[in-house]
Chains A and B, each alone.
Chain A
Amino acid sequence: MKWDEFFVFTGDPMLFAAMISIIVGAISIVVGLTYFKKWAYLWREWLTTVDHKKIGVMYILVALIMLFRGGVDALLMRGQTAMPENGLLNAQHYNEIFTTHGVIMILFMAMPFIIGLMNVIIPLQIGARDVAFPRLNSVSFWLFAAGAGLFNISFIIGGSPDAGWSAYFPLASLEFSPTVGNNYYALSLQIAGLGTLMTGINFVVTILKMRAPGMTWMKMPMFTWSVLITNVIIVFAFPVLTVALALMTMDRQFGTKFFAMQDGGMDMLWANLFWVWGHPEVYIVILPAFGIFSEIISTFARKNLYGYKSMVVSMVAISLLSFVVWAHHFYTMGHGVMVNSIFSISTMAIAVPTGVKIFNWLLTLHKGKISFTTPMLYSLAFIPIFTIGGVTGVMLAMASADYQYHNTMFLVAHFHYVLIPGTVFAVIAGFHFWFPKVFGFRLNEKLGKLGFWFITISFNVAFFPLFILGLNGMTRRMYTYSESTGYGPLNMLSFIGAVGLGIGFIILVYNIYWSIRYSPRDEDGDPWDARSLEWATHSPVPVYNFARVPKINELDAFWFAKKNNRMLSDDPYEPIHMPSNSGMPFLMSGAFFAAGFCAVFSWWIPAIIFTIAIFVFMALRSFEQDHGYYISVEEIERTERELGGDKK
């Protein structure tokens, strides 16, 4: 391999600038850590932590960085298509950008943001001291981080994947995508996917087994329900991705014939495997969003959630249906009337439970005392915008009509109308809502609302024109078009919206900075007057979460205890058992990263050596004897006093 194939920046000023900025960023982080003498702190408090709250914060931090990366990709795409015959990006660069935008936004932004919120909140919400397997949780995070890192360096070393985020064969085969880009795709998603699968197992066990005494199924908060269902989907969907990616790697690097065009291979097998995982994946990122909105709407309408049981039933129904609709992603690929009809009907059926949820939220708002806080504004905007996304989804679900919409900008507009008000609004709303729980102070409401209006209006300006462009026949993934098509003005409008969205996110980040410096510190632990158990302890949350395990006898037990001046538990303090920190997950994920990187370039000997290192770490863990440690009663008393006294 020649160096100019290895480093891809040669000759392209934009890639060169990206590389320089990455190097400068890395150097400044190293210098900064050394100058402020923070290496030991970083290692002790973050890199080795097994605390679910800190792991959650790290997930969200990475998600925000990835939001920036994916957002820059989006701006470049919209910039390129803003004018006919634009020369900002060439075709190859455009292909790489839309591929990485899709992969990063779904797998390295939406997923970790949701998993981050889940990590921070779920153990608190069910009254547990941590997740079931704290060490495994740390492994999950670091595997995800290794995968994200591996995917992102493809940009400057070897070349990014360029076959779309769905990487259809034969386009993604070695013959048509000869760079290492799709090797990066397969291996980085493989590593991050392993982490996600472990998260799935961890949270299913946590929610099944570690709920506070008395919290029966129907007394679980709605976010907990949504996360439980999501993680069950993860456990059954991610192995399919594991297999699909492994087959991709083997086809590209070992010459197997799974998706080949000759020797009996079947390229459509990839599309099926990808979407058998890919469609449940859509619900993995949307169901927790539904949970977050349920919590927020109920809190700020000052009412209990309307139709709790129907919410649960509809989420279970959605999770089952999510596994039987995958073929609607490729109606036009010729699998016959019967198959198309079945998948068309099952797809439309999903609109029913989703509609039930929309009505439940509306009826929760009905006659509520609504306070228009930032998280509530996002939740209120979500309902109508998401409904537009849902209705266009039903349009796309009709197989015969889909022949008209397939692969046009109409589809692009549809899924952005579902994923942005659904997932992105939910995680931002959740971020504003739970921020005081983690850090002990609220984000500034004025800046929050300013950001909300920028994001919501710009979102519609950016994406609504795409519906019309799609109906006018503009296909997705075309890097340029001629002036005579007439697509120019609406694309320019969409670009303006994209810039506005970018400004909205900058306001969001500025708000974090501003609030860290100036926001008044909240001593109360329950700034929103909220309903569920995470607000029953101090903010920021002490390492052991709850000094005494709360006892639950009804839904929203904390709310009723608060209103009736009752304690959730008055047991005496007992020593609390805690897991000890470990650097092993971090180091092991380093071995995963190195093995993956070498495998991308088919450097098999070092790849095997690093793979052996992974197994050595597993063996070390097996022989390790670690029973954690205890926090004594005196220490609990001291901590509780420092945090402002006993909590209910």
Chain B
Amino acid sequence: MKIDESLPLEYSTEENRLKILGFWIFLGAEIALFSTLFAVYFTLENRFGTGPSAQEIFHMPPVMIETILLLTSSFTIGLGIHAMRLGLKKAMMTFFVITLMLGLGFLGVEIYEFVTYVNEGATIQTSAFLSALMTLLGTHGLHVTFGLFWGTAILLQVRKRGLTPETANKSFIFSLYWHFLDVVWIFIFSFVYLKGLMVL
């Protein structure tokens, strides 16, 4: 395998470069996926039938906590990749662990939020609005959950094998994924929660 020393480790082989481009294109498909879910949500957001409306069920405090946790995690994974480029394995792993912990925290609060909704009688079967809301949030939440397992697998590999072109490539791609989930959350925060609480 030819290793190009002039490039960062994650880009250093032909295979690595192909994988990063492939992942960017995959993220393009993910954008199409979430766009469709947003379109479904916007179509159905005011169709709550006999169930509660957005204004009646949205509470800001847990959403704010989720937002802060996830945005911070996006920052810490950026620090992790920076450390990786400097070749600091230990610092990189620390930042990745912090990222995953923040992701876990986000997921915990989101589950709490879902349980609250269900306890208030707002289930996924109640109305089209709630079906769309919970599917959009749930899809994002499942992505975060998958990311937690994926990130852990990569951390184990970095710990065992060190920073090689392969592990660096995997970590970098994972960071792209994680930033993407953050971007999706920003849209959810703005166009689901803030818009839902707006009094027109």
Report A's interface with B, CB cutoff 8 A: 132-133, 197, 200-202, 204-205, 208-210, 235-240, 242-244, 246-247, 250, 254-258, 260, 262-266, 269, 273, 276, 577, 615, 619, 622-623, 625, 627
Contacts and interface: CB of A to CB of B under 8 A. Distances in A.
A268 to B, nearest CB: 9
What are the 7 closest A-B residue pairs judged by CB atoms, nearest first?
Answer: A264-B47, A264-B128, A239-B33, A256-B131, A263-B49, A239-B32, A264-B49
B153 to A, nearest CB: 5
A257 B127 contact: yes
A627 B1 contact: yes
Interface in B86-109: none
Interface stretch (B4-12, B17-25, B63-71, B190-198): B17-25
Contacts of B19: 133
B22 A238 contact: no
Given A237-B32, A273-B40, 20 more contacts: A201-B25, A204-B25, A205-B21, A235-B29, A239-B29, A239-B36, A240-B32, A242-B33, A246-B135, A250-B131, A250-B135, A257-B131, A258-B132, A263-B49, A263-B127, A266-B47, A269-B40, A577-B1, A622-B154, A623-B157
B61 interface: no
Contact of A269 (B44, B127, B130): B44
Contacts of B22: 132-133, 201-202, 205
B198 to A, nearest CB: 20
A280 to B, nearest CB: 11
Contacts of B43: 266, 269
A583 to B, nearest CB: 21
B137 interface: no
Interface in B42-92: 43-44, 47-51
A539 to B, nearest CB: 28
B112 interface: no
Contacts of B149: 615, 619
Given A239-B32, A250-B135, A263 B128 contact: yes
Contacts of B18: 132-133, 205, 209-210
Contacts of A276: 36
B40 A258 contact: yes
Interface residues of B, number: 41
A625 B161 CA distance: 11
B187 interface: no
B30 interface: yes
Contact of A236 (B29, B49, B51): B29
Interface in B25-39: 25-26, 28-30, 32-33, 36-37
Interface of B: 1, 17-19, 21-22, 25-26, 28-30, 32-33, 36-37, 40, 43-44, 47-51, 124-132, 135, 149-150, 153-154, 156-157, 166, 170
Nearest to A133: B22
B157 A239 contact: no
Given A266-B44, A622-B157, A256 B21 contact: no
B162 to A, nearest CB: 13
B126 A263 contact: yes
B29 A258 contact: no
Contacts of B131: 250, 256-258, 265
